[in-house]
Amino acid sequence: MRKVIPIAQPMINKEEIEAVVAVLKSGVLTSQFGDGPYTKKFEESFAKYVGARYAVTVNSGTAALHAALLAAEIGEGDEVIVPSFTFVATVEAVVLIGAKPVFVDIDPKTYTIDPAAVEEAITSRTAAIIPVHLYGLMADMEKIMKIAREHDLVVIEDAAQAVGAEFAGKKAGSFGDFGCFSFYGSKIITTGEGGMVTTNRRDNAEALYAIRSHGFGRHHSSERLGHNYRMSEIASAMGYYQLLKLPRLLEARRKNANMLTNMLEDIGRLELPFEPKGYKHSWYVYTVRLRGCRAGERNKVVAKLVNAGIQAEVYYPTPVHMAPYYRRKFGFKPRSLPKTEAAARQVFSLPSHSGLTEEDIRYISQKLRKIIG
């Protein structure tokens, strides 16, 4: 029986294992303010890599988004413009701080938020925009930042899937007021669970340091509303060594994506991933579109791939505005975001991670070609 080809595969080697063992032996597993020695090293290295002045560790990508919104002092009565074609955490964080999500449609080629739709959605209550860099491709941050500056809006980049991605020579997380990353087990680099927030402003960084540790400030008391969002030293040790190998992991993913493109580009019904000029995809997953299909047909293709040992996935079959909770709470209606809803019916993702062999990629391509016919 052939091995299963997973959609994601963490690349953990002896460096991470030895670092974690050293932390366990040291006895310093965490710190009161989340500023242990490995955490500081990880933050400094990550900020330098991204090209931001500050990087603040937290314990998940969702925590990163929530902390950024708290630091920006967005709350009740505010509106935050978001795509619906995203993992629910993007929107969840907005609702948790008491603001209202305002959903806009996507660019059907890149699957990222449409800047023109963003501009049309701005009202007197709009406080922020959260562009999501989806599948490893960045949103059009030049247009989004221009709109934000014209309307004095906060920009929080959801870069959970896009560590290492670039646009116009700058990395994800270096454009907005905040950049939010996830190091969940399926991500390009992982700490098991974990996240990071980048920013170029000292006051933002200080707010984030306080928020991740119950709002504690210089006087060791709660000076603002906070949470327990600290990253442990074990996770930070993993993250530090994962970051060192990130360029190598990205290079392998790009090579795998290029091979998939070469092997699939003549299948007429498949629309392959689009990398616009000036962008650098990080290839979190390799997302294709089955043109003109309904969800049922796409789902059958995915099921056949899974039965063949290829862990294809659908991200995301239910756009957030159509999820039961958000429909009940806010009254969002189906068919209000046609490009988003079409993508949700037609796209599916294939593995492109650095653990794939050329044999794996050939097998994926051959099976997909046979299934689609």
Beta bridge partner(s), residue 103: 82
Number of H helices, E strands in the chain: 12, 13
**Amino acid identity at 322:** M
Q: What is the distance between the alpha carbons of residues 228 and 150, in angstroms, rounded to a whole number? A: 35
Q: How many CB atoms lie within 10 A of CB 329?
A: 12
Region at 312 (left for phi over 0; alpha for psi -120 to 50; beta for the rest): beta
Region at 136 (left for phi over 0; alpha for psi -120 to 50; beta for the rest): left
**Helix, strand, or coil (residue 268):** coil
Catalytic-role residue among 143, 170, 187, 339: 187
- Token pair 């490995």 is found at 38
CA 371 to chain centre: 30
Q: What is the distance between the alpha carbons of residues 158 and 181, in angstroms, rounded to a whole number? A: 7
- Token pair 């790009």 is found at 254
In contact, 373 and 314? CB cutoff 8 Å: no
| HSE toward the beta carbon, residue 272, CA cutoff 13 A | 17
**Helix, strand, or coil (residue 120):** helix
In contact, 95 and 143? CB cutoff 8 Å: no
Is position 187 annotated as part of the catalytic site? yes
Which residues are known catalytic residues? 187
